[in-house]
């Protein structure tokens, strides 16, 4: 039988490091690009929504959602925010662990988050 996916990705990472800094930077950009797509898919599915239902809820065309989830789009921040809100999530910059710089991630909103309390 063949290797596991984890073994395969570790081998790709080793080969990328051997290629040098430019290859590592390109691989990181690739990983980040698809991370956002994966987070949208996971959140949408967790809510039991189809792409069509998310399109109706958000006002973003289903074809655009499909391209975003497939990693074939470069959505604006506004589109990312609209989709995140429609999924009960927010967009934040989060410090990467062990690395300089920041990563853009979609986080699920806590119940009542973002609402002001009346005094």
Fill in the DSSP letter of residue 110.
P
From residue 78, alpha-carbon distances to 1, 10, 82, 100 in Å are 46, 35, 6, 26
Quick one: average pLDDT of 18-42? 88
3-state helix, strand, coil in the chain (%, to 5): 55, 10, 30
Evaluate whether 73 touches 37 at the Cβ level (below 8 Å).
Answer: no
Q: Are 26 and 73 in contact (CB under 8 A)?
A: no
- The predicted-structure confidence for 68-104, as pLDDT tens digits, reads as follows 999 899 899 999 999 999 999 999 887 777 655 555 5
Sequence-distant (6+) residues with CB within 8 A of 91 are 77, 80, 81, 84, 104, 105, 106, 107
Answer yes or no: is pLDDT of 2 > 80. Answer: no
pLDDT at position 33:
72
pLDDT value, residue 66: 97
* Domains of the chain, first to last: 5-108 (1.10.260.40)
């Amino acid at each position: 039988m063949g290797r596991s996916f984890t073994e395969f990705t570790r081998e790709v990472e080793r080969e990328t490091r051997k290629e040098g800094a430019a290859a590592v930077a390109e691989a990181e950009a690739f990983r980040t690009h698809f991370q956002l797509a994966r987070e949208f898919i996971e959140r949408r599915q967790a809510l039991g929504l189809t792409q069509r239902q998310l399109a109706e809820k958000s006002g973003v065309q289903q074809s655009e959602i499909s391209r975003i989830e497939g990693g074939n789009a470069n959505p604006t921040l506004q589109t990312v925010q609209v989709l995140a809100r429609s999924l009960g999530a927010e967009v934040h910059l989060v410090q990467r662990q062990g690395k300089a710089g920041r990563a853009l991630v979609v986080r699920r909103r806590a119940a009542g988050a973002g609402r002001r309390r009346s005094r």
